[in-house]
Amino acid sequence: MSKSLQAIRGMNDILPEQTPLWRYFEGTVARLLDNYGYKQIRMPIVEFTELFKRSIGEVTDIVEKEMYTFEDRNGDSLTLRPEGTAACVRAVLEHGITGGGQVQKLWYIGPMFRHERPQKGRYRQFHQIGLEVFNLDGPDIDAELITMTWRLWGELGIRDAVKLELNSLGTSESRGRYREALVEYLSAHHDKLDEDSQRRLKTNPLRVLDTKNADTQAVLVDAPKMADYLDDESRAHFEGLKARLDAVGIPYVLNPKLVRGLDYYSKTVFEWVTDKLGAQGTVCAGGRYDGLVEQMGGKPTTGVGFAMGIERLVLMLETLEQIPEEISRQVDVYLCAFGEEAELAGLALAERVRNQLPNLRLQVNAGAGSFKSQFKKADKSGALYALILGDDEMAQQVVGFKPLRGQGEQQSIAWDALAAHLATCVVQG
Ligand code: ATP
Ligand code: MG
């Protein structure tokens, strides 16, 4: 195929054979979020570039090298959203729905765009489910977010394969004092740092903690620790969070090097990581951002949130073979009709059954065909039962009811009794 007719590198089609698993995953998360009292918000995919620069921070990987930015026909600089928090904060401010301390528990789902090197678990268009809570500043809500994800991993059958990493970045004052101490220490070891870290030391020193370079990691072993610089309030917040996780029985690992790639975090930061996906091990990440709303021009408003990568979690379900059997079956019943008269009767019958059983997945054969070919299609559809309308059935006003997966013999069912019969033998999703 000529290059211009291919999808953009790192931007994937999700094919029909994959969408059942996506919908199962998304449906499971959506139900959980509903049950915990979160409300969905939908933001545009494109925003003014300035929004991301102001919120994510000018000297982060995302803003420095990963954004899809372009000028529109008015000459405005626009950017495909690389994440959801910035737009969500913009939306709540624009609509005044966090004013006066009003609590908002919001979630969103959709595509995000980052110009990264595509590889397994890392794409240029990827999908997140994210969540933001405004105007709740205690550790109880941080704990709720983590508890909710813990429940999700349990429901999905992947709890044993993920690990919670936790850290506190403190308030911006304590982080400022820590930054100074870190810069002093790292400057004294400047020559042993890799080039990237030398640069970050000047622009965004906390990010040095994030390095993958072994020599720099060796230097970091004796570096000052954020935990020693936490102010009393941040310390109490962190202890409150840990006590709650202990109470629910959620294991965690303290990771003093966990700083996250975005500038806006304060106090709690966390990541759920797995060793089942190779290098792209973080499946869900988030934290508290008490200063962000004010930094974006709003009144002081605390915030906490996270985002999970849908591709990585779907990959995990596949890798760990945690795919519920029922999701791969998309047809319950397949109706075969032979001859024009039977086709008409079949169509009317199918509509009557659909009236009575709105959740039944009933597929009517299209394109006519011989007995053999229609049966082949019925079988291939994955249906549990075939319904048959031929000359004999038409004469008797019945329909042949044939189990396709080896549960018993074919029977004849009167047209009027069909819906009631199907209701007893098909578990409706
Ligand atoms: P990473 O360290 O893997 O680059 P990140 O810190 O940049 O992740 P966040 O901005 O916190 O990621 O996004 C939250 C989640 O979104 C990540 O934990 C991951 O599951 C997912 N994610 C981020 N970038 C990508 C990507 N390019 N492709 C697929 N999933 C991604
Ligand atoms: Mg990244």
Residues for the chain: how many in total? 429
Q: Which residue has the least CA distance to atom 14 on ligand 1?
A: 307
What is the predicted pLDDT for the residue at 262? Answer: 64
Residue nearest atom 9 of ligand 1, based on CA coordinates? 285
At 427, the pLDDT band (50, 70, 90 cuts) reads low
| 309 close to ligand 1 (CB < 6 Angstrom) | yes
Report the DSSP beta bridge partners of residue 270.
166, 286
Ligand nearest to the Cα of 120, by number: 1
207 lines ligand 1 (CB under 6 A): no
Residue 413 has pLDDT above 70, yes or no: yes
pLDDT of residue 58: 80
For the Cβ of 122 lying below 6 angstroms from any atom of ligand 1, the answer is: yes
The pLDDT of residue 232 is above 90: yes
Q: Whose CA is nearest to atom 29 of ligand 1?
A: 122
Query: Is residue 89's pLDDT more than 60?
Result: yes
CA distances from 323 to 20, 120, 162, 395, 404 (A): 10, 20, 17, 44, 22
**What are 258's two structure tokens?**
């966990």
Pairing mode, strands 303-309 and 282-288: antiparallel
Q: Could you write out the DSSP letters of every residue in 321-339?
A: T---GGGG---SEEEEE-S
Query: Ligand 1 in contact with 261 (CB < 6 A)?
Result: yes
- Domain 330-428 CATH superfamily: Anticodon-binding domain (3.40.50.800)
| Domain range summary for the chain, segments of one domain joined by + | 19-171+231-319, 330-428
Q: How far is CA 375 from CA 231, 383, 389, in A?
A: 72, 11, 12
pLDDT at 172 over 90: no
CB half-sphere exposure, 89, CA atoms < 13 A:
28
Contacts of 408 (CB under 8 A, 6+ apart): none
Q: Which ligand 1 atom lies nearest to the CA of residue 128?
A: 16
Helices H, strands E: what count in the chain? 15, 16
For the cut 70, the answer to whether the pLDDT of residue 429 exceeds it is no
Examine domains 19-171+231-319 and 330-428 and report if their fold is the same: no
Residue 335 main-chain phi, psi, to 5 deg: -100, 125
Handedness of CA 204, 210, 211, 216 (dihedral sign): positive
Q: Write the CA distances from 151 to 127, 156, 395, integer angstroms.
A: 21, 9, 55
Residue 108 and residue 43 in contact, taking contact as beta carbons nearer than 8 Å: yes
Predicted model pTM: 0.92
**How much is the pLDDT for 2?**
63
CATH superfamily of 19-171+231-319: Bira Bifunctional Protein; Domain 2 (3.30.930.10)
